[in-house]
């Protein structure tokens, strides 16, 4: 399988999803589309360059026409959106100006197109009108399609990939990742991304090795290159030698054997040596993953990220569609709990550009509960579906990104409104349903005592709590090294929330990535959390880890930990006291 005579190249990124794979590279897109270079065209070459641009436009147009033609009946109503894109391809500003730049400035087509889009952006940027902003989004969409044709990269539908390959991409959206077919895609390498991005979370959930934040991977790796990907260490090896392939085949076998062996621990109870029982649950993104949670021994679903049913499409799911997804999960998990989080859309899980304007700073934008309280029609549809599905088992409802007390009141008001509307229509639904909020921004931590009065439980979302407390974009590989779960401020915040929960008599859970890392288990145990929810693959290990610990000792350990001044001190303390145990479960 190795590539004789070609030099082996090792690239380093973040181990975003553990596991090893060996396979041929499939380049999904290239950084080139964003980092196009400028070059001068001779006077004689201008005509050629204009033709190159026109061909790219024609190809883009053909692609759109094929998509429209292939639309099934249910999608046909959206054909008009793509038809408007076809018209935009010949738009005077986009098409005419690009040709003009090539002619007048003697520059390459990619650069001319990029320049036109920048000019258009400047004009649209300050517009308040949502409709016009959406038109800008359409122009970008169309320009991207032309650019893809110009630089000659594939704009593929991931679902349609037929061979066993390692995906190499500049970036991969959570929507694209959720389309991955495990039978076809062996692993993922991206230029961008970080360990707590949603793309990484999904890769872990479906059990595909991933290395993210490998700068220039899309430039260094060529289509068809043999690759070794080690998602545990964050290494990508291009054109490995025969010896390296043999070594990694061995490592891969060992890893897979270990993983398979873990499953035998799935049914053990997660009880400490001093008999403190902590529930270990799974996080899911898609209904099909519920079975993985059960297979891994999960005590329920601590976080159902429902937004994935809204991504990668130009319209919202109907109440009936949502209801049947939720019902499927709830019935499968019965009598275990399913914690359904209401739509946490946008941020890095942007819905289609055609249904939402571009935001300058999406992480601080119209995301999650903010979006739902604005698009109350979308919110009500989901709430009605949850209440109806709850009849079929045990459900809790969880509101994301709560920053303000009034957001809880408003969210609950809509929940009651949804219940009333079902009452009026005589549709069966579950009335008594536990309501919780995600604690994932500092204002919710500080206001936890007040917020506790309105809810039945808290669930700490450390992925965002770290992002918003330490001012670290969780998707930005440039600052990924600063994203630190051991920061004393984070440990103190978690402790504060747990203490408030105890005082107010409500349960406190954790569903952020911290919960699934054995390094944190002694801390979370000592802090006194009631439940931990994580990517399903981590469940057996965390259960074993809990069984190796003593809750009383962990409490004493945490009391000392709270005095630490730096992340390094916290990490060292964990390793000093628990390093030997952790090593067994990592
Ligand atoms: C979190 O922020 O920790 C969390 C669990 O939510 P998400 O990762 O979906 O933002
Ligand atoms: Mg979150």
Cα-based angle 235, 239, 241 (whole degrees, multiple of 5): 95
Cα gap 128→532, rounded to integer Å: 43
pLDDT digits (tens, 9 = 90+) for 296-334: 999 999 999 999 888 867 678 999 999 999 999 999 999
- 298 three-state secondary structure: coil
> Residue 278 and residue 520: Cα distance in Å, rounded?
14
Q: Is residue 511 within 6 Å of ligand 1 at its C-beta?
A: yes
Average pLDDT of the residues in 237-250: 95
Contact (CB, 8 A) for 256 and 21: no
- State if residue 520 touches ligand 1 by the CB under 6 angstroms criterion: no
Q: Which residue has the higher pLDDT, 87 or 465?
A: 465
N-term to C-term CA, the chain: 30
Which tokens hold the place of 258?
A: 């270990």
One DSSP character per residue, 337-377 reads: EEEEEP---BTTBPPPTTTS---SSGGGSS-HHHHHHHSHH
Query: Does the pLDDT at position 372 exceed 50?
Result: yes
Tokens of 583: 């090593």
pLDDT of residue 172 exceeding 90, the answer is no
Q: What's the rounded mean pLDDT across residues 448-457? A: 98
Query: Can you read off the two tokens belonging to residue 394?
Result: 């045990």
Residue 111 pLDDT exceeds 80: yes
C-alpha 249: how far from its chain's center? Answer: 29
Q: What is the pLDDT of residues 68-93, one digit of tens each?
A: 776 555 456 556 767 777 887 877 77
170 Cα–ligand 1 center, Å: 23
- The better pLDDT of the pair 261, 340 is held by 340
CA–CA distances in Å: residue 218 to residues 223, 225, 235, 238: 9, 11, 15, 12
Q: Domain-by-domain residue ranges, the chain? A: 9-30+156-238, 43-151, 271-560
- Asked whether residue 5 carries a pLDDT value surpassing 70, the answer given is no
- Edge-to-edge strand list for the sheet holding 210-212: 9-12, 235-238, 226-230, 20-27, 165-169, 185-190, 210-212, 14-17
Section 238-247 average pLDDT: 94
For the chain, how big is the Rg over CA atoms in Å? 25
Angle between helices 46-70 and 130-151 (to 10 degrees): 110
Instruction: Give the predicted TM-score (pTM) of the model.
Output: 0.75
When pLDDT is cut at 50, 70 and 90, the band that residue 31 belongs to is very low
Report whether pLDDT(245) > 90: yes
Sign of the alpha-carbon torsion through 553, 554, 557, 562: negative
Position 457 pLDDT exceeds 50? yes
Q: DSSP code of 271?
A: B
Residue 477 has phi, psi (to 5 degrees) of -65, -20
Nearest CA to ligand 1 atom 8: 463
Q: What separation in angstroms does the CA of 307 have from each of 122, 400, 444? A: 31, 11, 22
pLDDT of residue 130: 60
Is residue 152's pLDDT more than 70? Answer: no
Residue 353, pLDDT score: 45
What percentage of residues in the chain have a pLDDT greater than 70?
89
- Rounded CA-CA distance 155/141 in Å is 12
The domain made up of 43-151 has a fold known as Enzyme I; Chain A, domain 2 (1.10.274)
Residue 53 Cα distances to 56, 145, 442, angstroms: 5, 12, 50
Choose between 23 and 114: higher pLDDT.
23
Strands (E), 299-350: 300-305, 337-341
Class of 271-560 per CATH? alpha beta
Model pLDDT, residue 156: 58
Rounded Cα distance between 188 and 190, Å, is: 7
Q: How does residue 120 score in pLDDT terms, banded at 50, 70 and 90? A: confident
User: How many residues make up the chain in this entry?
Assistant: 586
Q: What is residue 453's predicted lDDT score, i.e. its pLDDT? A: 97
Q: Which ligand is nearest to the CA of 348?
A: 1
Q: Is 366 exposed, middle or buried (0-12, 13-18, 19+ CB in 10 A)?
A: middle
Would strands 300-305 and 507-510 be described as parallel, antiparallel, or unpaired?
unpaired
The CA–CA distances, whole Å, from 488 to 445, 498, 569, 570 equal: 15, 15, 9, 7
Which helix (H) or strand (E) segment is 29 a member of? none
Nearest ligand 1 atom to alpha carbon 464: 2
Rounded Cα distance between 233 and 307, Å, is 30
Ligand 2 centroid–CA 555 distance in Å is 27
pLDDT at 117: 83
**Do the beta carbons of residue 298 and residue 280 sit within 8 Å?**
yes
Determine what percent of the chain is predicted with pLDDT higher than 90.
58
pLDDT at 253: 94
Q: Is the C-alpha dihedral spanning 205, 574, 546, 468 positive or negative?
A: negative
From the alpha carbon of 303, which atom of ligand 1 is closest? 5
Q: What is the pLDDT of residue 76?
A: 60
For residue 128, what are its two tokens?
């308040």
Which of these is catalytic: 85, 170, 198, 356?
A: 198
Ligand 1 and 174: CB distance under 6 A: no
The pLDDT tens digits of the residues spanning 274-286 come to 999 999 999 999 8
**What is the second-level CATH architecture of the domain 9-30+156-238?**
3-Layer(bba) Sandwich (3.50)
Reply yes or no on whether 325 is catalytic: no
Q: Which pLDDT band holds residue 243 (cuts at 50, 70, 90)? A: very high
How far is 145 from 140, CA to CA, in rounded Å? Answer: 9
- Band the pLDDT of 34: cuts 50, 70, 90: low
Res 73: pLDDT:
59
Please give the torsion angle defined by the CA atoms of residues 231, 232, 237 and 240, in that order, rounded to the nearest 10 degrees. -110
pLDDT digits (tens, 9 = 90+) for 178-236: 778 878 899 999 988 777 777 788 888 888 999 998 877 877 788 889 999 999 899 99
Q: What is the pLDDT of the chain when averaged over all its residues?
A: 88
Residue 335: cis peptide before it, omega within 30 degrees of 0 = yes
Could you identify the residue written with the tokens 């070459």? 45
111 vs 430, more confident: 430
Residue 496 designated active-site: no
Supply 471's token pair: 């001012």
Beta bridge partners of 40: 107
Minimum-distance ligand 1 atom for the alpha carbon of 344: 9
- Can you tell me the distance from the alpha carbon of 155 to that of 172, in angstroms, rounded to the nearest whole number? 12
**Tokens describing residue 136:** 């800008």
Does position 6 have pLDDT exceeding 70, yes or no? no
- Looking at the predicted structure, is the pLDDT value of residue 33 above 80? no
Residue 516: the pLDDT is 96
Per mean pLDDT, which of 25-39, 341-355, 394-408 is the most reliable? 394-408
Residue with the larger pLDDT of the pair 352 and 382: 382
State the ligand closest to the CA atom of 513. Answer: 1
């Amino acid at each position: 399988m190795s590539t004789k005579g070609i030099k082996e190249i090792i690239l380093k990124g973040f181990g975003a999803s553990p596991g090893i794979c060996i396979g041929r590279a499939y380049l999904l897109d290239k950084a080139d589309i964003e980092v196009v270079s400028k070059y001068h065209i001779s006077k004689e070459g201008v005509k050629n360059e204009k033709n190159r641009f026109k061909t790219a436009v024609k190809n883009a147009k053909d692609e759109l026409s094929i998509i429209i033609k292939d639309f099934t009946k249910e999608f046909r109503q959206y054909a008009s959106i793509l038809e408007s894109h076809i018209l935009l391809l010949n738009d005077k500003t986009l098409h005419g100006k690009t040709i003009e730049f090539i002619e007048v400035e003697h520059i390459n087509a990619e650069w001319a197109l990029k320049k036109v889009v920048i000019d258009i952006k400047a004009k649209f940027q300050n517009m308040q009108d949502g409709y016009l902003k959406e038109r800008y989004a359409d122009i970008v969409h169309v320009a991207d399609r032309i650019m893809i044709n110009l630089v000659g990269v594939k704009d593929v539908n991931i679902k349609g990939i037929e061979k066993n390959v390692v995906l190499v991409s500049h970036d991969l959206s959570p929507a694209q990742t959720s389309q991955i077919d495990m039978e076809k895609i062996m692993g993922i390498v991206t230029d961008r991304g970080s360990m707590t991005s949603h793309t990484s979370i999904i890769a872990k959930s479906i059990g595909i090795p991933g290395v993210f934040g490998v700068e220039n991977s899309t430039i260094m790796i060529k289509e068809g290159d043999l690759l070794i990907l080690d998602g545990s260490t964050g290494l990508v090896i291009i054109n490995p030698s025969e010896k390296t392939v043999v070594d990694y085949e061995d490592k891969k076998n060992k890893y897979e054997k270990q993983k398979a062996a873990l499953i035998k621990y799935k049914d053990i109870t997660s009880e400490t040596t001093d008999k403190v029982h902590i529930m270990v649950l799974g996080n899911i993104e898609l209904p099909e993953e519920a079975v993985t949670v059960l297979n891994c021994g999960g005590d329920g679903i601590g976080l159902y990220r429902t937004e994935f049913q809204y991504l990668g499409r130009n319209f919202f799911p109907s109440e009936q569609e949502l209801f049947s997804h939720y019902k499927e999960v709830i019935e499968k998990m019965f009598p275990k709990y399913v914690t359904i989080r209401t739509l946490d859309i946008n941020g890095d899980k942007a819905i289609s550009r055609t249904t939402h304007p571009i935001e300058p700073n999406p992480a601080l934008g119209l995301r999650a509960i903010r979006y739902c309280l604005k698009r109350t029609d979308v919110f009500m549809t989901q709430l009605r579906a949850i209440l109806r599905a709850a009849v079929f088992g045990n459900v809790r409802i969880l509101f994301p990104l709560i920053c303000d007390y009034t957001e809880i009141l408003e969210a609950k008001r809509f929940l009651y409104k949804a219940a009333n509307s079902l009452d009026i229509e005589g549709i069966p639904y579950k009335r008594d349903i536990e309501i919780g909020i995600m604690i994932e921004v500092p204002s919710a931590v500080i206001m936890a005592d007040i917020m506790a009065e309105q809810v039945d439980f808290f669930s700490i979302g450390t992925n965002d709590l770290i992002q918003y407390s330490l001012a670290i974009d969780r998707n930005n590989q440039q600052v990924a090294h600063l994203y630190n779960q051991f920061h004393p401020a984070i440990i103190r915040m978690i402790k504060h929330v747990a203490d408030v929960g105890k005082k107010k008599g409500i349960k406190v859970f954790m569903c952020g990535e911290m919960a699934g890392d054995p390094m944190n288990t002694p801390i979370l145990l000592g802090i006194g959390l009631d439940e931990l929810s994580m990517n399903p693959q981590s469940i057996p290990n965390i259960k074993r880890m809990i069984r190796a610990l003593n809750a009383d000792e962990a409490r004493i350990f945490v009391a000392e930990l709270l005095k630490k001044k730096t992340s390094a001190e916290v990490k060292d303390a964990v390793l000093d006291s628990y390093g030997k145990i952790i090593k067994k479960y990592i």
